[in-house]
Chains A and B, each alone.
Chain A
Amino acid sequence: MAIRIFVPRDATACALGADEVAKFIRKGAEGRGLEVEVFRNGSRGAAWLEPLVEVETDAGRLAFGPVAAGDVPGLFEAGFPGEADHMLSLGFVDEIPWLARQQRLTFARAGLGDPLSLENYDSLEGFKGLERALILDPQAIVDEIKKSGLRGRGGAAFPTGIKWQTVLDAPSDNDNKQKYIVCNADEGDSGTFADRLLMESDPYQLIEGMTIAGLAVGATEGFIYLRSEYPHCAKVLEEAISRAEQAAYLGDDIRGTGKAFRIDLRIAAGAYICGEETSLLDSLEGKRGMVRFKPPLPAIKGLMGLPTVVNNVLSLAAVSTILARGAAHYRDFGTGRSRGTLTVQLSGNIKRGGLVELPFGATLRELVEDFGGGTASDRPARAIQVGGPLGTYLPESQWDVALDYEALAEIGGMLGHGGVVVFDDTVDMAQQARFAMEFCAVESCGKCTPCRVGSVRGVEVIDRIVAGKEREFNLALLDDLCDTLVEGSLCAMGGLTPYPVRSALEHFQEDFKR
């Protein structure tokens, strides 16, 4: 029987040469007369080990990584695909501590098999949540989500069940009583890639979660708004949606129940602001992605003015687990009001970067030091930005904070979408503060003056401070400007841009003196 070999196909693995590695393995096996089957699996999220090649054996899967194409001949010489005595040999994949120490719910399936295989998804508890949702009435589904304690994983951490209840209760004044499910897959925060990883490695989980959401609130149409920076992901989703339709997991008659739900994949066009839910809705309507006033909430007047659930990829994915295993199972993970698991993305200057899923409660230091293994440059870490480009920069004195919504908020930070970007001691924090303002200037939708103009002024003021021009005056001016942005902006773009700026000023003042 052919030996089964797995080479990941997600964007990071491919960016590190996985396609070539797969080709070299096929060729190498052919040259040696070995019968192998090379599968392209999703990624387990251990980006530091990518391309992570796995070989199926009776005792488990043997792992090798990170494998470059040039390593393949040497691996074969050392005994690959058998147990090879090679420096890239990692033993059994399930025993790699970085993976074994995680507790995966949402990412349990990621990397196990071909992400597009429905049979594979089915065999790994896939569609169990949907099966249950198909026989529950809408209120029972919403109750289950409420009981689970699930909060929006996009960043705002709003209780998902309450949002769904609002949409379920909202009357639709459309002739067809249409409501919508919108998946926010505009994962724009630097340092985050969990949504991408899920969609590329386990796309059916998102499709299942969206369908359950549709059943719960009475929506038959869903949209995935995917950022255009993820071309790889778009291909996977397109194919997954088409296969799900063919197998009647989507369509007018889901698995013969007479219930309907369809998903339309929409590609964004490179505007960070469209990750904000109301500007996303404007963009989906074919307009400029301008932020809307709230109220009305999208749950009451959303897409085309109709009741709309807007949820992040991970929130919708978690829904399938909650329905499959029950609210209590999910709720039992976590701490305080942060229930379930947290998906942290370790990135930037870090030795062992990738996706770590754990129950809420681990500290930032545990993640960065134990999982991350310190900086990639082997220099001391100096600042960690948590929560994306609008998140605060934390100095070492704050790294013992627990990574949950409330603990971070207490120190003026935010968890956001779980991005953790590590910088070593070569970082110039004045430059980082300036970039926060610059980014806001580039990506502001332009609706609010404090954000549109204040960000440009912010860059100029920081430049003057760094140049030593009227220092005290300009520091006071910057502080005042930050207040104006926080108080005078409709959405988080202008409202949170001062956070990285102020944290840099507060904790790394010396960088602003030249």
Chain B
Amino acid sequence: MQASAVSLQEIVESVIASHRGKVGALLPVLHAIQDKLGHVPKQAVPMIAQAMSLSRAEVHGVMSFYHDFRDEPAGKNIIHLCRAEACQAMGSRELERHVMDRLGIGYGETTADGLVSLEPVYCLGNCACTPSIRINDDIHARVTGQKFDELINRLEAEG
């Protein structure tokens, strides 16, 4: 991560500058900062507030309302496990137990080695070939415990 080379203040300012004049720019700004840094650091909240003429409470309120934004770094990979009905119908509850056993973590947690963060998701739009999970930006269909283990082994091998 290049955050040390470029200060957080500079990142925040450049992101906000590139969204100037947009209707309701706060969500795109938060997404852009999170895309760059992997999370939106707490220290960024007052900077964003100041630069966008918002109160800190407003920025914090938006950050905390949406499931996607995080103020702590995530693991190297983020796994979203679908908990919604179409996946339930194909055994996602069992898969959920398997995933948590295999990783040794629950939702909102990161493995001790920092490899994986686990998040719940309610539908990935792959409902005809379930259960579905998302690893970073890739969706995986008809995931069984065995298939999940293979995917994790691959992540572990990549390090």
Please tell me if the beta carbons of B128 and A270 are within 8 angstroms of each other in the complex: no
CB distance from B120 to the nearest CB of A (A): 8
Please tell me if the beta carbons of A288 and B62 are within 8 angstroms of each other in the complex: yes
Once bound together, how far apart are the Cα atoms of A188 and B122, in whole Å?
7
- Against A, the Cβ 8 Å flags (1 = close, 0 = not) of B67-98 are 11100000000001010111111100100000
Please tell me if the beta carbons of A15 and B86 are within 8 angstroms of each other in the complex: no
Which chain A residues in 234-291 approach chain B with CB under 8 Å?
Answer: 264, 266-272, 283-289
Most buried by A among B25, B68, B128: B128
Residues of chain A within 8 A of B132, CB atoms compared: 15
Which chain A residues in 146-191 approach chain B with CB under 8 Å?
Answer: 187-191
- Beta-carbon nearest neighbor of B84 in chain A: A190
CB contact under 8 A between A442 and B122, given known A269-B31, A269-B67, A389-B84: yes
Please tell me if the beta carbons of A348 and B129 are within 8 angstroms of each other in the complex: no
Q: How many B residues are at the interface, by size bracket?
A: 35 or more
- Against B, the Cβ 8 Å flags (1 = close, 0 = not) of A200-232 are 000000000000000000000001000011111
CB distance from B89 to the nearest CB of A (A): 3
CB distance from A25 to the nearest CB of B (A): 20
- Beta-carbon nearest neighbor of B52 in chain A: A286
Once bound together, how far apart are the Cα atoms of A385 and B85, in whole Å?
9
Residues of chain A within 8 A of B128, CB atoms compared: 12, 47-48, 193, 345-347, 350, 353-354
CB distance from B81 to the nearest CB of A (A): 12
Q: Is B138 an interface residue (CB 8 A)?
A: yes
CB distance from B18 to the nearest CB of A (A): 14
Residues of chain B within 8 A of A272, CB atoms compared: 122
Once bound together, how far apart are the Cα atoms of A385 and B36, in whole Å?
40
Once bound together, how far apart are the Cα atoms of A190 and B83, in whole Å?
9
Which chain A residues in 291-329 approach chain B with CB under 8 Å?
Answer: 303-304
Please tell me if the beta carbons of B142 and A16 are within 8 angstroms of each other in the complex: yes
Q: Is B47 an interface residue (CB 8 A)?
A: no
- Against B, the Cβ 8 Å flags (1 = close, 0 = not) of A421-440 are 11110010001100100010
> Contact partner of B67 among A189, A191, A233, A270, CB < 8 A?
A270
Q: Is B159 an interface residue (CB 8 A)?
A: no
CB contact under 8 A between A286 and B129, given known A229-B134, A432-B88: no
Q: Is A443 an interface residue (CB 8 A)?
A: yes
Q: Is B11 an interface residue (CB 8 A)?
A: no
Q: Is B141 an interface residue (CB 8 A)?
A: yes
- Against A, the Cβ 8 Å flags (1 = close, 0 = not) of B25-46 are 1111011000000000000000
> Contact partner of B129 among A15, A228, A303, CB < 8 A?
A15
Residues of chain B within 8 A of A230, CB atoms compared: 124-125
- Beta-carbon nearest neighbor of A17 in chain B: B141
Please tell me if the beta carbons of A389 and B85 are within 8 angstroms of each other in the complex: yes
Q: Is B23 an interface residue (CB 8 A)?
A: yes
Once bound together, how far apart are the Cα atoms of A123 and B57, in whole Å?
52
Residues of chain A within 8 A of B122, CB atoms compared: 188, 190, 272, 389, 439, 442-443
Q: Is B130 an interface residue (CB 8 A)?
A: yes
Please tell me if the beta carbons of A266 and B129 are within 8 angstroms of each other in the complex: no
Residues of chain A within 8 A of B22, CB atoms compared: 264
Q: Is B127 an interface residue (CB 8 A)?
A: yes
Please tell me if the beta carbons of A422 and B88 are within 8 angstroms of each other in the complex: no
Interface size on A, residues (CB 8 A): 65
CB distance from A204 to the nearest CB of B (A): 20
Most buried by B among A223, A269, A286, A389: A286
Please tell me if the beta carbons of B62 and A192 are within 8 angstroms of each other in the complex: no
Please tell me if the beta carbons of A47 and B129 are within 8 angstroms of each other in the complex: yes
- Against B, the Cβ 8 Å flags (1 = close, 0 = not) of A105-117 are 0000000000000
> Contact partner of A349 among B68, B84, B89, B126, CB < 8 A?
B89
Please tell me if the beta carbons of A269 and B86 are within 8 angstroms of each other in the complex: no
Most buried by A among B85, B132, B138: B85
Please tell me if the beta carbons of A16 and B69 are within 8 angstroms of each other in the complex: no
Most buried by A among B22, B124, B138: B124
Please tell me if the beta carbons of A286 and B25 are within 8 angstroms of each other in the complex: yes
Once bound together, how far apart are the Cα atoms of A424 and B90, in whole Å?
9
Once bound together, how far apart are the Cα atoms of A354 and B121, in whole Å?
21
- Beta-carbon nearest neighbor of A14 in chain B: B139
CB distance from B90 to the nearest CB of A (A): 6
Residues of chain A within 8 A of B23, CB atoms compared: 223, 264, 284-285, 303-304
Please tell me if the beta carbons of A11 and B139 are within 8 angstroms of each other in the complex: yes
Residues of chain B within 8 A of A54, CB atoms compared: none
Please tell me if the beta carbons of B123 and A435 are within 8 angstroms of each other in the complex: no
CB contact under 8 A between A229 and B31, given known A190-B84, A270-B67, A347-B130: no
Please tell me if the beta carbons of A421 and B27 are within 8 angstroms of each other in the complex: no
CB distance from A277 to the nearest CB of B (A): 15
CB contact under 8 A between A269 and B66, given known A285-B24, A385-B85, A422-B89: yes
Residues of chain B within 8 A of A442, CB atoms compared: 122
Residues of chain A within 8 A of B93, CB atoms compared: 431
> Contact partner of A16 among B25, B27, B129, CB < 8 A?
B129
In the assembled complex, 19 residue pairs joining A and B whose CB atoms fall closer than 8 Å, in A order, are A12-B129, A15-B141, A192-B125, A193-B125, A223-B23, A229-B80, A229-B125, A230-B124, A268-B68, A270-B121, A287-B58, A289-B66, A303-B23, A354-B128, A389-B85, A419-B86, A431-B93, A435-B88, A443-B122
Q: 6 tightest A-B contacts by CB?
A: A353-B128, A190-B84, A286-B26, A348-B89, A269-B66, A347-B127
Q: Tell me the A residues contacting B by CB distance below 8 Å.
A: 11-12, 14-16, 47-48, 50, 187-193, 196, 223, 228-233, 264, 266-272, 283-289, 303-304, 345-350, 353-354, 376-377, 385, 389, 419, 421-424, 427, 431-432, 435, 439, 442-443, 445
Beyond contacts A266-B28, A287-B62: 13 other A-B pairs, Cβ-Cβ < 8 A, are A11-B139, A12-B139, A16-B142, A193-B125, A223-B23, A269-B31, A269-B66, A285-B24, A345-B127, A348-B86, A348-B89, A389-B84, A432-B88
